[in-house]
Chain A
Amino acid sequence: MIEIVMHAGEFYHPAHKETGSLKPLLPAIQAGFESLKKIDKGKVIDVFQKFSENVIKDPSTTGIEGVAFLSSWLRKANMMQIVEKNLRDLAYLDHFVGETKRIKAQPRGFACHWIAGNVPAIGLFSLFQSMLVGNANILRIPPKSHDTMVRLLKVFASSKIDSGLAGADLLESTAIIYYDRADQKANEELSDVADARIVWGGEEAVKSITGLPRRAHCEDVIFGPKYSFAVLDREAIASKNMPRVLRFLASDIFLFDQAACTSPHVVFCEKSNMDVATIARFLGEEMGKLAKRFPKTDIDQFIMTKIINARAEHALDPDASVVCSPENDWTILINKRPGLEEPIESRTIFLKEVDSIMDTLPHVTKKVQTIGCAVDDKAKLLAFADEATFRGVARCVNVGQMHLFDSPWDGVLFMSRLVNWVTVYHGD
């Protein structure tokens, strides 16, 4: 059974409408898709800008994790930058550009998104980029994110620009649905209608979706599964900015309960005038402050057990130590084991001392997505980033910016993958 959360601009939440098949949903989305073709894409960006202003003011959406970033990401200037990176010029979306040989970026058609449950707003990053290039969109979103998505999209629907165009008009080409992950029939049906499949999620989810039958022309864009970590060089540790670095690092650890592909799990610190125990103590103070501001709400027993075990292991190991809150809230695990560590999540970070951040490079694989860098030696940063990205890392960013959704993402210029580049010869 497929639950309908939103269809062609109509919201059915929390009492979801149900359907046994996707088929009845498609004609309205198709009609919305054709209407979207007629809308000037500059106007679409104007609606995004309006939503960007509304979403941080609206009482129904304040407090949603990541909403401030979503707002800044949707600003016209940022959107234009993303378009330029991906398509060179917005004009390609509206008409053929060029002289004799003219080129246009046509939408691929139906973009079907499988969204992970860890970052509720990720569905919107995926949707808005696909919508801007003119695709119809069907998003399968886990129940945990429904409430957040609906609150955000209702504000989007009511965001109207002077021309009269509103988010509600753009949502006519969109559906948000949910079905159990074991529902093979629904999964196959969604895959079957897709001209582009966009998958955000862990290994299991990605495998189960990419293994589904698809149309020959269908474009697959896969995000995940990934792992991230952070490095601090001795200059950064010694600098007066270190307290700010630790504050930003704590924020990167706390956001999305460390379940995102961009979440750091290990911090490598170059040997410096400050030992790791001291760094841990200062980081612990920052994590303690954040824990007070953002009490842990999602208590996962399995993860709590992992935290209990990791704390005990480090307390029993003569070469390791633990700095942590009394309850299983935040945890800093210091050890001398070389390399990365299996993620524990939920505000649990491993801290390790290295002679040089370059020593971490042998541990970098294509699984590593983001490295948060507090590296004051800029020559070292470039050399490190060049080696790390050569090994597969997609992003080397400042600590504190690990979760900032950007383009390219995961090595992909997302919008460019969601269009068909078409040509017309307009000459003799």
Chain B
Amino acid sequence: LDIKQAVNDLIAQEQFRIPQAEKDRVLLPILAQQVKDNMAFSQQLQKFYTSSGKDPSTYASIADIPPIPVSMFKKFSLKTCPDDQVARVLNSSATTSGIPSRIYINKETSFRQSKGLIAILKDFVGGSRRPVLVIDTENVNKDDADTLSARGAAIRGISNFGKKLVYVMDEKSGELFLNRQKLQGFIDEFKGQEILVSGFTYIIWTRFVKQVQDAGIKLDFPAMKLVHSGGWKKLAAQAVTKDVFSKALAGMFNTEQRNIVDFYGMVEQLGVVFLDCKAGHKHAPDFAEIIIRDPYTMKEQPSGKAGLIEIASIIPSSYPGQAIITEDIGEIVGVDDCPCGRKGKYFVFRSRVERAETRGCGDTFAERRKDR
């Protein structure tokens, strides 16, 4: 098996066409070989895979690959290529823990990430290049920045489809404000045309919507697609559901609700994004896999049972991203039979894993100086 060729072929082809049974057969040998390569390259990874699982030659399914928890990319420099081949180190934004992930990217991985992202997005938004309205500040996606947030990564992916990118938010003292002139300019130039809109869900809802309404600006883009992600925890606290969000944004842009598309993705697994189809499901592309694990047994959950989301991908050759387990909860809805016609597993995102109410008098050992 020529692994590199197989990976490139799978990424380049039209996505969501391979039925699940065939997909397992195609992906497993590639992933197993990649794990072997990781073990051969790094003693650290050799120790991890050996102590956490079985010999890659004996993997019977993708779920047999021991997943690396996403937070390990914050604690360790995990790479699977020589230092001189690292083209870029991505530092994820560190919003929750305060510590960024470090993801080592070589040229090959970078190329595959772009190709993979394009292949997925093409299937959902079409292949034509069109104007892109970015509901964010340009600062979030500076070309020379070595820090890439989830916000920036999403915009970067969408920009592949842009013939013109217009950022309509300005950042002043850490707060985002609508740049009315830029928005009006975009409206005047592209009114009624097919456009793409991209942004962080929480920012769209809490900053853009209100400021556009206050400014009395009318948006009329029936042929638009809004691709958005992130911040659902805070929105849920404000009782904003996905349906409430989609209805409001569809109304604002004068388009149908199905054009408001939520997606799930992470900096640690760039190149793989999971967009909502018209049935409201997220689909794994042919070059990646979604596994929902029971948080106690770690076994793969059957359809309809919630568990920890794990993403397996054949894209990375510079870091061990073959199987990464997240701290998110999701649920497989079905396999091969989504009404949208896409093949493979499809799932829904449920929530982040939340800290439960303090259970008792057991406590941290750390002294908090203020208390003394």
Contact = CB atoms under 8 A, between A and B. Distances in A.
Interface of A: 116-119, 181, 200-205, 223-228, 256-261, 263, 265, 296, 299-305, 308-309, 311-313, 315-318, 321-322, 326-329, 340-343, 345, 363, 365-368
A301 B361 contact: no
B353 A302 contact: yes
B327 to A, nearest CB: 5
B364 A227 contact: yes
B362 A226 contact: yes
21 contacts: A118-B361, A202-B363, A258-B362, A259-B359, A265-B365, A299-B295, A299-B296, A301-B308, A302-B354, A308-B298, A309-B71, A316-B78, A318-B43, A318-B44, A326-B298, A342-B365, A343-B362, A343-B365, A345-B359, A366-B367, A367-B363
A426 B273 CA distance: 86
Contacts of A318: 43-44, 47
Contact of A260 (B68, B69, B76, B362): B362
B102 to A, nearest CB: 14
A322 B357 CA distance: 28
B76 A365 contact: no
A183 B71 CA distance: 35
Contact of A261 (B45, B75, B361): B361
A299 B366 CA distance: 26
Interface in B61-105: 68-69, 71-72, 75-76, 78
Contacts of A343: 362-365
Q: Which of B52, B298, B353, B362 has the most CB of A within 10 A?
A: B362
Given A305-B295, A327-B298, A205 B358 contact: yes
Contacts of B52: 311-312, 315
A198 B312 CA distance: 51
A321 B183 CA distance: 56
Given A301-B329, A316-B44, A328-B296, A260 B360 contact: yes
A205 B357 CA distance: 10
A330 B365 CA distance: 21
Given A296-B296, A301-B295, A302-B353, A308 B360 contact: no
B365 A367 contact: yes
Contacts of B357: 117, 181
Interface string B34-74: 00000000011101100110000000000000001101100
Interface of B: 43-45, 47-48, 51-52, 68-69, 71-72, 75-76, 78, 295-298, 308, 325, 327, 329, 353-367
Contacts of B360: 116-119, 200-202, 224, 256, 259-261
Given A305-B295, A308-B325, A316-B47, A225 B363 contact: yes
A114 to B, nearest CB: 11
A304 B367 contact: no
A91 B72 CA distance: 62
B309 to A, nearest CB: 11
B75 A302 contact: no
Given A259-B362, A302-B355, A305-B353, A315 B47 contact: yes
B225 to A, nearest CB: 34
A321 B52 CA distance: 11
A201 B44 CA distance: 40
Given A299-B296, A328-B295, A203 B44 contact: no
A258 to B, nearest CB: 7
Contacts of A316: 44-45, 47-48, 68, 72, 75-76, 78
Contacts of B68: 312, 316
A202 B356 contact: no
A363 B366 CA distance: 10
Contacts of B366: 342, 367
Given A201-B358, A313-B72, A328-B298, A261 B48 contact: no
Contacts of A312: 48, 52, 68-69, 72
A305 B97 CA distance: 14
A200 B360 CA distance: 8
A315 B69 contact: no
A321 B355 CA distance: 26
Contacts of A329: 296
